[in-house]
Chains A and B, each alone.
Chain A
Amino acid sequence: MKNMAVLSLAMRSLWARKITAILTVVSIAAAVLLFVAVENLRQGARTSFERTISDTDVIVGARSSPINLVLYSVFQIGDPTNNVTWETYEEIKARRDVAWVVPITLGDSHRGFRVVGTTPDYFKHYKFADSQSLSFREGQVFTDLFDVVLGAQVARELDYELNSKITLAHGLGGTSFVNHDNLPFTVTGILSPTGTPVDRSVFVSLGAIEAIHMGWRSGTPTPMSRLNTPDQLREKKLTPENVTAMLVGATSRVRSLGLQRDLNTYEAEPLQAVIPGVALSQLWNVMSVVERALALVSGFVIAVGLIGILTSILTSLNERRREMAILRAMGARGQHIIGLLVSEAALLAFIGSALGLTILYGVLWVFRPLLEARFSISALRLWPGQFDIGVVIFVTVSAAVLGLIPALIALKRSLSDGLTIRV
């Protein structure tokens, strides 16, 4: 008997028990969908995480932990511990192994989005993904003291356009009681989406940060602060005393290690210099605990699905004793009985896992326009890849191996039953 014949009998037999079969297939589909979706999200998260910053050789800030520095300077998470003096910035900038320095000043926000005070060089040197530069969807970089550039998500969520007027709030929280509402800013540029924290940032010049804090003492405004009109402030030469962090580009990649060492042992003030790639992978390792927990849980869901197949076949064996006796009497060999039950298990698993993949990628495909509008390049895979096919094969083969259990039981029974049909 050809193997196809066993397979076709297995399919017909399954179809005769379609309610159980469909439920089993659905449970496998759900398990595989979950597992593959978790893996896809994990990969997507990791990819978009690694794409966050590129071409910056060293990030410099006040001494704290490397992870903390990367979190607040790149990811807009957590609070800077201290500032770096402007003199240090100038000295680093003057070093022979330094090609460029972009200073960053944090501490203000706009409706929950963080304000980054920086120089126009930021838009030239900040790179993400594979050395991709920031680009302006509309408008251009700030030129006036009260110009502001918005990240894509800020503009989208708050519904801002060019020339919208916005005011900044002091502090990093969503609700601030101290506002800089006497000095409104004008939107002059909106960035294209990047899929990085840049999308959630509000950019102003370093001078603007100085201007809005003019007359402030230790984080609170004094009556002096309201004395200056925007035009008066424009007249002033606003050089900051401090910056929060710096993105530094070395003249060559090989020099970045020496540069990092020099800055970590900087004598004038305690600095922390990190190489973004190293810090990012440290940070990812912290998060990988969650990642592993997720993978473990979804792996267990697959195991439960496989046990479901086993249960459904084992339960069916009693009512199929007659079926096995008939097949044996017609000349079916032991291997046919085994083949029938093993291929039944494999079929359930294969159809289930293929269905799971189809549903997952179908949904991703339907929502593709939405995903692509949000992130310039979606980090999620939209088509099944090698991993997914591997999962289908793994689930199918595991089910086939588990199918040996009912198969051997049925074979043993069919031998002890002889050629008698037990009703």
Chain B
Amino acid sequence: MNLPYQNSNLMSTDSVLTLTDLQFGYSLGPNLIDIPHFEIKAGESVFLRGPSGSGKSTLLGLIGGVLTPQSGKISICGKELTEISSGQRDKIRADHLGIIFQQFNLLPYIGVIQNCILPCRFSASRRNRALRSSHSVEAEAEALTSGLGLTDEDLKRKVGELSVGQQQRVAVARALIGGPDLIIADEPTSALDHDNRDRFIELLNQSREKFGSSLLFVSHDQTLASHFDRAVSLTELNQRVAA
């Protein structure tokens, strides 16, 4: 990985994610999400503080295009999720989003490298971008994981034999492969101890800056907010009437 490839040539004033008058609730229940406006610019890192019950999971489902809002707009890199089919939303997710979960990010039955290249299996554009800097997607995955401090030995081990910290770093490499526009990290540090937590966030920030990817980092832990360009509280953002 000599020169990291840039994502889809967005200017820093362009937004990778825009939510407008977003409303969502399950058919008989109350509104869970009511967000008038929220935006992430290209290259920006945003800390979204969301305690449990603040509608965090629902919001991520909406941004990922798995849930559809009752009203309002979700736009990813200028593409309106509400105006396209679920299949096309799946494609947008594959092409533009890198997702890191709280834990258990990896499929246990395939190897570390195979886990890393999963997004390239579902997105041709990310595969092509990965091939711009390496001769194969596997080589790109190796470059990314070694950049995140994983040794060749680690790559040969089974997923279950890696420490939680190592697994989370593999998840970062996977989220970054093929340079998506927006990385969504959902409490990725909650299973890590304090020292590892800060190092993990620094690594994540450094790596995603190389690709020019924006970051939406969701956590309940306010102390992490200083690592990011901007911090937003979901409880303030979300206008839904409290039950």
Binding site for B on A (CB under 8 A): 1, 5, 9, 12-13, 15-16, 322-323, 325-336, 414-415, 417-421, 423
Contacts and interface: CB of A to CB of B under 8 A. Distances in A.
A329 B90 contact: no
B94 interface: yes
Contacts of A414: 66
The CB with the most chain A CB atoms within 10 A, among B60, B87, B110, B122, is that of: B122
5 closest cross-chain pairs (CB), A and B: A331-B94, A418-B61, A331-B122, A16-B109, A333-B90
7 contacts: A323-B107, A325-B101, A327-B107, A331-B93, A331-B94, A332-B122, A423-B103
Interface of B: 57-58, 60-62, 64, 66-67, 86-87, 90-91, 93-95, 97, 99, 101-110, 118-119, 121-123, 174, 184, 186
B101 A331 contact: no
Contacts of B105: 326
B123 A12 contact: no
A344 to B, nearest CB: 12
A1 to B, nearest CB: 5
A338 B67 CA distance: 18
Contacts of B110: 9, 12
Nearest to A336: B122
Contacts, number: 89
A1 B127 CA distance: 11
A329 B64 contact: yes
A419 B64 contact: yes
Given A12-B110, A16-B109, A331-B122, A418 B58 contact: yes
B104 A418 contact: no
A330 B101 CA distance: 11
B233 to A, nearest CB: 20
B101 A329 contact: yes
Contacts of B107: 13, 323, 326-327
A415 B86 CA distance: 11
A330 B99 contact: yes
Contacts of B184: 419
Given A12-B109, A330-B122, A331-B91, A420 B86 contact: no
Contacts of A334: 86-87, 90
B122 A421 contact: no
A322 B87 contact: no
A5 B64 CA distance: 23
Contacts of B99: 329-330, 419
A415 B60 CA distance: 12
Contact of B64 (A13, A333, A418): A418
**Residue with the greatest number of chain B CB neighbours at <10 A, chosen from A5, A9, A12, A330:** A330
A303 to B, nearest CB: 30
Contacts of A329: 64, 93, 99, 101
Contacts of B102: 421
A418 B60 contact: yes
B67 A415 contact: yes
Nearest to A12: B109
Contacts of A322: 104
A336 B123 CA distance: 13
B21 to A, nearest CB: 20
A335 B103 CA distance: 26
A28 B107 CA distance: 28
B186 A13 contact: no
Nearest to B59: A418
Contacts of B174: 330
A335 B87 CA distance: 9
A312 to B, nearest CB: 16
Nearest to A326: B107
A17 to B, nearest CB: 8
Among A12, A331, A333, A423, find the residue whose CB has the most chain B CB atoms closer than 10 A: A331
Contact of B60 (A15, A323, A335, A419): A419
Contacts of B94: 330-332
Nearest to B60: A419
B7 to A, nearest CB: 15
A421 B101 contact: yes
Given A331-B91, A332-B90, A334-B86, A423 B104 contact: yes
